[in-house]
Every structure is written in structure tokens, then in C-alpha cells.
């Protein structure tokens, strides 16, 4: 029972890092910024929501105005992932729902894994009701991950162009993280990457580095001028207009 409680607590700290995450989560700085961005904008989504690329639906509880929460993901053979929370699977071409099915759409850290991004955005537009709202986060400064399915990084103007071209109006957009946090996060990533592959051994060795880089990353971000020319993520709130 205690082991299961600890396991669930660690799992929660991965996407919702708090005090415990400060000491054990080597992605604390970027994950904290993503979680904060989603939490602060969750109230804008309501009704029936499609979570595209849902994984384990880690942010579901943040959407208190949502009456129906449907998760869609893409199943890749040989990829180790928990699909227990997935309601439907995307076939790479069409989201398996009828036109104008959803009031809201959430898509977090997915578009960098999509090669046919225009086709997918057209599908987002198709399944959203008119004036429906989408909340999309996309990494800008991050290392390659989930290879060989990491295809792109997008600047703010590039994303704005893609969204508008595919029938969306930009309601709001902002960047998470800043230059200092990126520097400290990437230094920690480097140390993580050169340590032994054994998960437990690596975690033990990482703890002092996690605390050091998290603490000073947050401290210097607070006391030094903010520079957003390097940052973690682009966050867009969109409205379907076409």
C-alpha cells in the first residue's frame, strides 16, 4: 500500500511538480511552467473536450468547466506507453469523430511529433464547433525526445501563421520559461544524459544536481532581468472561425 502511494505521488509530481518535485523531478523547471500555463487557462475550455495526444490525461482534473473529457492518442508499435486512459486512437489521418463534435480542444507537447501538421490542424478545426476554443502548447527549446518521432521546433510567428491558415483566430499567446531557466534546465539535462542508464542509480546521483539547478534557476530568474528570446514553450489559446 505504501509503495503504491509513493508510486502515485511520484507520478503526479512528474506533471504537477510541487515541493517534492523540486527535489526529485529533473524536468521541474519546464514541467512547472507548462502546468502553470495550462492551469491558468483551463477555465477557458468547457463543455465537451478533446484531449489530443492525451497519454495518461495528466491535466484532466484542471478542467473543472468540462462536462465530457475524451482522450485521443496515436499508437506506435514498439513504443512503451500506458494507453489505459486513451478513449480512441488517431490513425495518422483522421480524428475518429464527426464534424463539430467538441466545444474545446487540448493539445500539449504533441505538434513537434507531427510531420503533417497542416492536415492535423485541419482535423482540429473539423471536430471543433464554431467558436470552439483550443489550448495548445508546443516546445521551442527542448532536446530531442521520443526519437525517431521528434520532427520540429516552431517559433511564435510560425505557429501563428499555421493556426490562422487553418481556420483559427489567436485569442492569446505567450511563452513559458525564460533564458535563465533554459540554461539551468539544459545543464541539468546534460548531466542526466551522461549518467548511467540504470533508472534508479541515475535518480540517486541526480538529486543534488536537481536541487542545485532548480534552486539557482528559480533564484536568478527572480533577481535578474527577464529575457524571453530563449524559452521553453509557446502557448496559444485559439478560437475556431472557419
Residue 196's pLDDT is: 87
Residue 131's pLDDT is: 96
Cell of 123: 482535423
Percent of the chain that is helix, strand, coil (3-state, to 5): 45, 20, 35
What residues are paired with 136 via a beta bridge? 107, 236
Q: Which residues, given as ranges, of the chain have pLDDT below 50?
A: none
Helices (H), the chain: 2-15, 19-24, 28-41, 117-127, 156-165, 179-194, 199-223
Q: Does domain 33-75+82-178+228-242 have CATH number 3.30.420.40?
A: no
Q: How far apart are CA 50 and CA 35, in angstroms?
A: 18
Residue 5's pLDDT is: 56
Residue 12's pLDDT is: 79
Contact 182, 141 (CB under 8 A): yes
Residue 138's pLDDT is: 98
Q: How far apart are CA 92 and CA 27, in angstroms?
A: 29
Residue 200's pLDDT is: 83
Amino acid at each position: 500500500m505504501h509503495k503504491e502511494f509513493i508510486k502515485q505521488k511520484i507520478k503526479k509530481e512528474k506533471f504537477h511538480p510541487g515541493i517534492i518535485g523540486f527535489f526529485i523531478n529533473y524536468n521541474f523547471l519546464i514541467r512547472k511552467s507548462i502546468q502553470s500555463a495550462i492551469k491558468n487557462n483551463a477555465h477557458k475550455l468547457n463543455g465537451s473536450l478533446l484531449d489530443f495526444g492525451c497519454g495518461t490525461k495528466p491535466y484532466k482534473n484542471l478542467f473543472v468547466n468540462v462536462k465530457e473529457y475524451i482522450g485521443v492518442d496515436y499508437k506506435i508499435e514498439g513504443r512503451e506507453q500506458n494507453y489505459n486512459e486513451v478513449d480512441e486512437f488517431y490513425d495518422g489521418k483522421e480524428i475518429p469523430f464527426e464534424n463539430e463534435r467538441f466545444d474545446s480542444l487540448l493539445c500539449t507537447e504533441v505538434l513537434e511529433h507531427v510531420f503533417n501538421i497542416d492536415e492535423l490542424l485541419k482535423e482540429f478545426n473539423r471536430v471543433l464547433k464554431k467558436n470552439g476554443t483550443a489550448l495548445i502548447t508546443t516546445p521551442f527549446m527542448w532536446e530531442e525526445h521520443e526519437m525517431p518521432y521528434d520532427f520540429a521546433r516552431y517559433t511564435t510567428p510560425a505557429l501563428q501563421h499555421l493556426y490562422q491558415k487553418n481556420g483559427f483566430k489567436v485569442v492569446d499567446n505567450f511563452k513559458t520559461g525564460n533564458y535563465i531557466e533554459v540554461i539551468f534546465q539544459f545543464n541539468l539535462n546534460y548531466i542526466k544524459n551522461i549518467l548511467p542508464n540504470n533508472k534508479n542509480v541515475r535518480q540517486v546521483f541526480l538529486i543534488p544536481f536537481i536541487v542545485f539547478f532548480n534552486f539557482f534557476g528559480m533564484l536568478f530568474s527572480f533577481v535578474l532581468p527577464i529575457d524571453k528570446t530563449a524559452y521553453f514553450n509557446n502557448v496559444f489559446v485559439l478560437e475556431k472561425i472557419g
